[in-house]
Each structure stands twice: as C-alpha cells, then as structure tokens.
A and B are shown apart, each in its own frame.
Chain A
Amino acid sequence: MKNAVSIKNLTLQAGDFNLGAIDLDLAEKEYFVLMGATGSGKSLLLKALCGLHPIKSGNIVLSGKDVTALPPRLRKIAYVPQNSGLFPHLNVIRNISFSLEVGGMSFKKAKHAIEEIVTLLGIEDLLERAPSTLSGGERQKVALARTLVMKPNVLLLDEPVSAVDEPTRKEICNDLIQVKDRIGIATIHVCHSKEEAACVADSVAVMHDGKIISRGTMDELCRQHENPVIKRLLDL
C-alpha cells in the first residue's frame, strides 16, 4: 500500500536553526501527532511540507507522487496555521469557498459544494458572519472546513486548539475525530498537549532540536521514562 506521506532525508535551514534530517512515513488515513517543545521545528516542518519554506535536501512524496519541486498550490496539502488564518476581509462562507472559487468555480456552485462539510462541522449558522466576530473555537472550525472542501491529500494542523479554552478544545478534538472517521484523510497535527494527542492520535512522534527523536503510539511514548526530553514533554 502506498504511503499518504513519505518524507526522506529532509533537511532545511531557517536562520541559525537546522532541521533534519527527517524521515517520516504516514499511512493512508493515519492521524499523526507531532509533539515537541517550542522552537523544536514542528511548525517549520509543516511549512516545508506545504512548500512554504525552501528545503536544503530530501524528498517529499504524497500518495506516490514526488511533490518536492511543486509549488504549494499543486501539492494538495491543506494547512491550518496556529491562528487559523481566516481572511478577515471575507465572510465565513467566502472563506470556506475560497479554494473552490480560486479554482474557477462560481460562488453559486461553491455554495452547494461546501454544504456537506459545513453540516459535518455544524457551522451552518456562522456562514454570513465576519471572522472577527467568531470565537476561537468557531474560527478553527471554519478554518478546518475551508481546508477540507479542497479535498486535500494531507491535512496539516498547526496547534489547532492552542488558543481555546478546555471545553472548546474537547469540542474541536471531537470534530477532528469525526473528520478522521468520516473523511479519513492523512493528518499531521502539531501540539504540546498530551491529552490532546491521546484524544486524536493513531501515532505520535516527539521532535527535539530539529529532529524526530521518537515515534510510536501514545502508550509506547509514555513508557519512555528514561528519555529526559520525552519525560519533560509528556510530564511523566
């Protein structure tokens, strides 16, 4: 079976920070959580996967297709940044239909095309609102809907629940599980929280100083008491 994501020997540099070499494989529909302290290179890795940050060496293969040299728009990777990245000059429905309209679909057709995702995430009542009037949780749901309507090969979530309260975090995690079950898309989810990772992850990896130092299920990682980085990160 083809991997949804296959990263081989990926290295990059951002100022003085060096990332890699990273080797990572994700199966189809796998929900992968990447944990690590601030500045460990998690967000940078996501940007490199999207094509938003140049890499020094390595290959990125998505569903059997080498996308290393492709621009972001041709990779079919959906990316939700830390602050949700909603376009403030567009209302919610225009945000969600953005990728479809960019692709040449009329707004009328796009409205139909987004119905399923909007219903799945329960945001029907938000469609006419401006992003600035949404709560943190609502913003993340809209951002998620916006990426899912483009039917991506891979979904990248950069700390999607970092700026919300506990009930909202649980609600969004439930939404993510629903998306995983219903749509089944390979996902890389960056977070700091052990509870969040345990809630959604099929597999978890820990990143430290630009390298992936361990990978396994949440239970397997929790057994690695001897590793001080993992011990500190997972509060073991």
Chain B
Amino acid sequence: MLYLATHGVTWSDFSELLRDKEVISAIKLSVGTSLITLVLVILVAVPSGYALSRCRFPIPAFFNTLVDIPLILPPVVLGLSLLAIFGTPAGMWIRRTLQSYDIELVSAVGIVMCQFLVSVSYCIRAAKASFDEVDSRLEDVSLTLGCTPFQCFRRVTLPLARNGLIAGCVMAWARAIGVFGPLMVFVGTSARVQVMPTAMWLELSIGNIEKAFVIALIMVAIAGSALILVHWLVPGRKWS
C-alpha cells in the first residue's frame, strides 16, 4: 500500500486496476480452481489423516514420508514431478483419456493438480493432528452406546476434531491459491491459465509494477484473512 501511495497511485487508479479484466480473470480462476482443489483435498486429507492417526501401518516411516514429501520438496520440483508423471505410459494414457473428453492438462485441470499436490499434505498433517487430539476413550464409549464405527466417526470424532480440520482446510486453501512454481513448470503462463501468482509475475516481468502490486495486495488480504480465521478457530476453543 505504502509503495503504491508513494509512487503516485491514487485510490481511483487502484480501484481501476482492481477492475482490470486480466486481474478479475486471474482472481476468478484462482478462487474457482482453489475451491475445487479444496473439495478434493478434504476428500483425500480427512480419511488419510484419520488413518494415519488411528491405524497402525507396517512401515509408518514410509507413509509419513510419502505425506511429507510435498512439504519439503521445492515447488518447482513438484511441477517437474507432474510433468514426469504425465510423461510415463500411465500418465500418457490419462492424458489421452482426458483429451478424448476434450479436457487438456494446460487448463483449470492442470492448475487444480498443481494446487492439490502443493496443499494436500498441509491438510493431511492438520487432520492427523486434530484426530490425535480426540480422546480415543470417547470413541470407545460411543461404540458401547450403540454406534457403528461410521456413526462414531460422524457423531463423536468429526465434531471433536472440527476446529482443527477447518483450520487445516483454510491453510490448505490459502496454500493452493498462492501456488506458483509448479504452475510455471506444468501449465505455463498462457492467458487462459493465468491465476493470481502467475499474473502477478507476468505483470512484474513486463514492468507493470502497479498492477503486480494490486494483485499481490489481494493475495496478502486473502492470506491474512485465512490466518485470522485459523487463529480464531484454533486456540482456546477446545471442548473441555
């Protein structure tokens, strides 16, 4: 904000930049794809987190490493990994199958793949931590009170882990909406796949600093809101 103010960008310039077609398109694509990613992340992370928390795996280090790999790999390497996967025979088959339905990887689909890969580990870790905090004795009691294992999960485990799960989802969504490196490698920067981070980078690269800063401000606002939501949900809101 300070940068824009000191470089002669007035409020009307700022609001005009906010209404820019490319900016709006990037916001729409970012929000749309990240919400789809969020749904996929929830579908994968909640059962995975629960399994990691409650099940005994034969080689726990292997499964934990598998979950943690996306957290520690450089983002560009994640994009390269996706390229490599779709270069294998199985990947080529998936690509051809998608193409037969007129679905290209260099589209929202590719964006969702990158966002998913980058954010799913955060949510799995958060889900595992939330489920770890649920007292397993309460689950035992619910089973003796007539619950099936699924009813126990729905009526006891899930409500007790709710705050941590929501926080994990918010963090994963914020991570997804800010993904940059894998997108550059896997889907590129063509106009139809420009989300906020790639649009910001492109504006920077052509010297349109003000527009880049406007997009950056929107991303800061999103990240800030997500953090506020997480801090509001997690501390001091335990059940007992």
Contacts and interface: CB of A to CB of B under 8 A. Distances in A.
A159 to B, nearest CB: 13
A146 interface: yes
Nearest to B155: A102
A50 B155 CA distance: 20
Interface string A192-210: 0000000000000000000
B45 interface: no
A183 interface: no
Given A99-B145, A102-B145, A83 B240 contact: no
B152 to A, nearest CB: 9
A15 interface: no
A52 interface: yes
Interface stretch (A74-82, A119-127, A171-179, A211-219): A74-82
A61 to B, nearest CB: 18
A48 to B, nearest CB: 12
* Interface size range on B against A: 10 to 19
B240 A52 contact: no
A30 to B, nearest CB: 20
A89 B160 contact: yes
Q: Which of B145, B151, B156, B159 has the most CB of A within 10 A?
A: B145
B146 A99 contact: yes
Contacts of B239: 88-89, 132
A72 interface: yes
B104 interface: no
Contacts of A103: 146
Given A81-B137, A102-B151, A88 B143 contact: no
Given A88-B239, A132-B239, A146 B144 contact: no
A199 B144 CA distance: 27
B144 A78 contact: yes
Contact of B146 (A50, A88, A132, A150): A150
Interface in A106-157: 131-132, 146-147, 150
Interface residues of A, number: 26
A75 B144 CA distance: 8
A88 to B, nearest CB: 4
B212 to A, nearest CB: 46
A91 B140 CA distance: 19
B25 interface: no
Contacts of A73: 143-148
A98 B145 contact: yes
A79 B144 contact: yes
A85 interface: yes
A85 B138 contact: yes
B141 interface: yes
B189 interface: no
B141 A81 contact: yes
Given A89-B160, A132-B239, A52 B140 contact: yes
Given A73-B143, A89-B239, A150-B146, A83 B137 contact: yes
Contact of B141 (A75, A79, A132): A79
Contacts of B53: none
Nearest to A158: B137
8 contacts: A71-B143, A73-B146, A73-B147, A77-B144, A78-B144, A85-B140, A87-B138, A102-B147
Given A89-B160, A102-B142, A102-B145, 15 more contacts: A47-B140, A50-B144, A51-B144, A72-B140, A73-B148, A75-B144, A79-B144, A81-B140, A81-B141, A98-B145, A102-B151, A131-B240, A132-B240, A147-B145, A150-B145
